Amino acid sequence: MKRKLSARQMQMIALGGTIGVGLFMGSTSTIKWTGPSVLIAYAIAGLFLYMIMRALGEMLYVDPDTGSFSKFATEYIHPLAGFLTAWSNIFQFVIVGMSEMIAIGGYFDYWWPHLPDWIPGLVAITFLCLANLISVKMFGELEFWFALIKVVTIILMIIIGLGLIIFGIGNHFHPIGISNMWTHGFFTGGFKGFIFALAIVLASYQGIELIGVTAGEAENPRETLVKAIRSTVFRILIFYIGAIFVILSIYPWNELDNVGSPFVETFAKIGITAAASIINFVVITAALSGSNSGIYSASRMSYTLANNGQLPKRFLKLNRHGVPFYSVIAISFGIFLGVVLNFVLPLFYKGASNIFIMVYSSSVLPGMIPWFVILISQIEFRKQHKDQMKDHPFKMPFSPYSNYITLFFLLLTLVFMFINPETRISIWVGVIFLVIMTLIYFLKFHGKVKTD
């Protein structure tokens, strides 16, 4: 593989990976559980995510390799942990990629209502597959611009929103103020509602660990990774908390269901008549970004599994641009299969769309596996690299105590997701997936894993 990802691209990849379609579409699932106190949930989740990223950064500084956290799991925990981590990552990103490609069909309905939904999905996945095959630099450049579009839109929304709140721009110069933050209640769902919201918030940060997958193809990996990790979490916090603060200040939280997309409404308030078209375009780029990241991450994890002898050797084959050819093709086909099933299944079974939503939400638990693995691996990593720790410039703060506290937080979140009827099924599906993959490992690969 070739180290072609620049610091500029790395920071945007990490940033764009966690700013998803949900924020733009005005998802109210977290707000309905706990009201404006959801801002505290985002801050708490962000703090623990920073700890996870610092644990990853400490290991990557010493060993910046492709498929990083799966490799660390194999080396510092057990080959089973590496196997489950790689497959969890593939499962998560293929499912997310499917959902993004299916969603794109719905977004194009805004302009071309008679266009079959599968056509935009087919065009998009073909384009992304070819772009990923050309070179890792092409993936990085695409992801840079996709992420930049999202970031610029959020910044503009925050600026316009603050203009409405402070100066009344777009509201006949009558400042809206921030009284909506407490007028209709702050902790509206009590402690239970807050914890339920925290679980959903935590899921929205999934993908932040993508930067660890890019380590093997980064230019000047030590310097690049340290910069990206230091800045990314705080920027994500600013964008999420800033955007949601503006939304909750302008619109009463208990009326958000009637607003549609708060982004569209906020732009429209200052006279941008094309607001809906602009946000629709941004959401399409956000969906493309999610699938682009998914193809990249899952194909590199396939490469790692093949390197461990857990997938056929053909998945190790690189094209002349240093890209794992068969891995990219296989993952792209897997994502496209979701588009086909979404089109075909409703013809035979009317409840098929609900099944897909359940499967999509089932990626939450597998998506958290890398976080557990990173925190546990780093404890053993530090024991085995005592000499390198003396002069290490990017050590995880307060380790191992910060590891144990973060692990407890993640486990507590899963417990409350199981208690919550709305997220219980997704946890069960995730558990079943992990049990099946564990059985496959012990039946087929136990004692046969090679690590290189």
CATH at residue 253: 1.20.1740.10
Segment 95-116, tens digit of pLDDT: 888 888 888 888 888 899 888 8
The verdict on residue 36 lying in a domain is yes
| Residues of the domain holding 346 | 7-445
Q: Residue 101: what pLDDT?
A: 85
Tally of structural domains, the chain: 1
Quick one: average pLDDT of 271-297? 87
The verdict on residue 310 lying in a domain is yes
pTM above 0.85, yes or no: yes
The verdict on residue 1 lying in a domain is no
Q: Is the peptide bond before 400 cis (omega within 30 degrees of 0)?
A: yes
The verdict on residue 271 lying in a domain is yes
Q: Which of 13-27, 200-214, 222-236, 288-302 has the highest mean pLDDT?
A: 288-302
The verdict on residue 125 lying in a domain is yes
The verdict on residue 452 lying in a domain is no
6 within 8 A of 219, measured Cβ to Cβ: yes
Segment 204-239, tens digit of pLDDT: 788 888 877 777 777 888 887 888 788 777 777 788
The verdict on residue 55 lying in a domain is yes
Question: Confidence band (pLDDT; 50, 70, 90) for 26?
Answer: very low
Q: Residue 45 contacts by C-beta under 8 Å, 6 or more apart in sequence?
A: 198, 201, 202, 205
DSSP 314-364: GGG-B-TTS-BHHHHHHHHHHHHHHHHHHHHHHHH-TTHHHHHHHHHHTTH
